[in-house]
Amino acid sequence: MKVLHLGFLLVLASGIFALIIYITGVTNLHEISRPSPEDLEALKSLQDSFQKCVHANGLGLRAIVGKDLCEVTIEFPRDTISKWKDPKTGELEGLSFDFNLCESVANWEQVRNSSTILTREFIDALPNGWEDYAWRRINKGILLNRCANRTLCEEKLSLVLPLTPPFVPRQFDRCAVIGNSGDLLKTRFGNEIDDYDVVIRENGAPIQNYTEYVGKKSTFRLLNRGSAKALDKVVELDETRKEVLIIKTTIHDIMNKMIKEIPIENPVYLMLGTSFGSSAKGTGVKALEFALSICESVDMYGFTVDPGYKEWTRYFSESRQGHTPLHGRAYYQMMECLGLIKIHSPMRADRNRIVKFLPSSNLIRAAGIASAKVLGRIGRASSDPLAACSIIKEQVKRSFDQLINIRKPAINHQRYEELSIQWSNGFLASACLRGAVAIWWNYSHFWMV
Helix (H) or strand (E) holding 431: helix 429-448
Confidence label for 5 from pLDDT (cuts 50, 70 and 90): low
Distance, in Å, from the CA atom of 336 to the CA atom of 322, rounded to the nearest integer, reads 24
Q: Rounded to 5 degrees, what angle do the CA atoms 330, 334, 336 make?
A: 115
pLDDT over 90 (residue 414): no
Q: 33-42, 174-183, 415-424: which has the minimum mean pLDDT?
A: 415-424
pLDDT on residue 304? 87
Confidence label for 320 from pLDDT (cuts 50, 70 and 90): low
Q: 168-177, 206-215, 424-433: which has the minimum mean pLDDT?
A: 424-433
pLDDT on residue 446? 30
Q: Dump pLDDT digits (tens) for 352-396.
A: 999 999 999 999 999 999 999 999 885 544 555 444 443 333 334
Q: Where are the domains of the chain?
A: 2-34+429-448, 169-323
pLDDT on residue 382? 54
Q: Rounded to 5 degrees, what angle do the CA atoms 17, 20, 23 make?
A: 150
Distance, in Å, from the CA atom of 125 to the CA atom of 316, rounded to the nearest integer, reads 42
Confidence label for 87 from pLDDT (cuts 50, 70 and 90): confident
Q: Count Cβ atoms within 10 A of the Cβ of residue 201 and give its class: 0-12 exposed, 13-18 middle, 19 or more buried.
A: buried
pLDDT over 80 (residue 232): yes
Looking at residue 62, what DSSP letter applies?
E
Which of 244-248, 379-383, 445-449: highest mean pLDDT?
244-248
Confidence label for 321 from pLDDT (cuts 50, 70 and 90): low
Pairing between strand 295-301 and 172-178?
A: parallel
φ, ψ of residue 137 in degrees (nearest 5): -90, 10
Q: Is 215 left (phi over 0), alpha (psi -120 to 50) or beta?
A: left
Q: What is the mean pLDDT of residues 39-63?
A: 97
Question: What is the CATH architecture of 169-323?
Answer: Alpha-Beta Complex (3.90)
Looking at residue 176, what DSSP letter applies?
E
Cβ contacts of 240 within 8 Å, gap of 6 or more = 218
Distance, in Å, from the CA atom of 75 to the CA atom of 124, rounded to the nearest integer, reads 44
Helix axes 429-448, 408-427, angle to 10 degrees: 40
Helical residues (DSSP H) of 321-402, grouped into ranges = 325-337, 361-375
pLDDT on residue 201? 98
Pairing between strand 96-100 and 172-178?
A: unpaired
Confidence label for 182 from pLDDT (cuts 50, 70 and 90): very high
The alpha carbon torsion through 61, 66, 71, 75 (nearest 10 deg) reads -20
Q: Dump pLDDT digits (tens) for 334-347.
A: 999 999 999 999 99
Confidence label for 404 from pLDDT (cuts 50, 70 and 90): very low
pLDDT above 90 as % of the chain: 61
Looking at residue 188, what DSSP letter applies?
-
**In the chain, how many H helices and how many E strands?**
16, 12
Cβ contacts of 181 within 8 Å, gap of 6 or more = 302, 303, 304, 312, 313, 314, 315
Distance, in Å, from the CA atom of 298 to the CA atom of 348, rounded to the nearest integer, reads 16
pLDDT on residue 282? 75
> Do 365 and 383 form a contact (C-beta atoms < 8 A)?
yes
Looking at residue 228, what DSSP letter applies?
H
Q: 35-39, 235-239, 302-306, 435-439: which has the minimum mean pLDDT?
A: 435-439
3-state SS, residue 64: strand
Q: 13-22, 122-131, 300-309: which has the minimum mean pLDDT?
A: 13-22
Greater confidence, 304 or 411? 304
Q: What is the pTM of this model?
A: 0.80
pLDDT on residue 51? 97
404, 176, 399: which is closest to 294 by C-alpha? Answer: 176
Give the E-state strand segments of 146-287 in sequence order: 172-178, 198-202, 220-223, 244-247, 268-270
